[in-house]
Amino acid sequence: MKKVIFTESAPKAIGPYSQAIEVNGTLYISGQIPIIPATGQMPEGIKEQTKQVMENIGAILKAAGYSYTNVVKSTCLLSDMDNFKAMNEVYGEYYKENPPARAAFGVVKLPLGALIEIETIAVK
């Protein structure tokens, strides 16, 4: 059965989608951009934006009863592949052991001018 996951601790969807959907012990988290939930603003710089995205993902994981250790796959979208190394430094802090499978792509543009967007799949 499909369950919609929502938390005020992560940004509200900016379109017709859910923050996350859980089905049969698998959590599908929509692409998260670095919006600070309390202010609706985005921090400056790739490191700060990556940290905010990871914090938003963490809030959704927690709301659904998961943690970073449950993450099996991430897809990172970068507005500039020159930010790949800096993004990796921050991203790696959240997955110190047994990191998930991952893909990273450079894209032309991200919503609201974000430098990064990450979608995530977690399994219990």
Structure tokens at 47: 């490191």
- Angle, alpha carbons 14-19-24 (nearest 5°): 150
Three-class secondary structure assignment of 5-21: ECCCCCCCCCCCCCCEE
Report the pLDDT value the prediction gives residue 13, as an integer from 0 to 100: 92
Burial readout 26-57 (b: 16 or more C-beta within 10 A, e: otherwise)? ebbbbbbbbbeeeeeebbeebbebbbbbbbbb
Q: State residue 116's pLDDT score.
A: 98
Under DSSP, is residue 67 helix (H, G, I), strand (E, B) or coil? coil
Structure confidence at residue 41 (pLDDT): 97
Q: List the alpha helices (DSSP H) in the chain.
A: 46-63, 84-94
- Reading the block at residue 31, the tokens are 């692409």
Mean pLDDT in consecutive groups of 10 residues from the start of the chain, 124 residues: 96 94 98 97 98 98 98 98 98 97 98 98 97
Domain 3-123 has CATH 3.30.1330.40: yes
For residue 37, what pLDDT is reported? 97
The whole-angstrom separation of Cα 23 and Cα 14 is 22
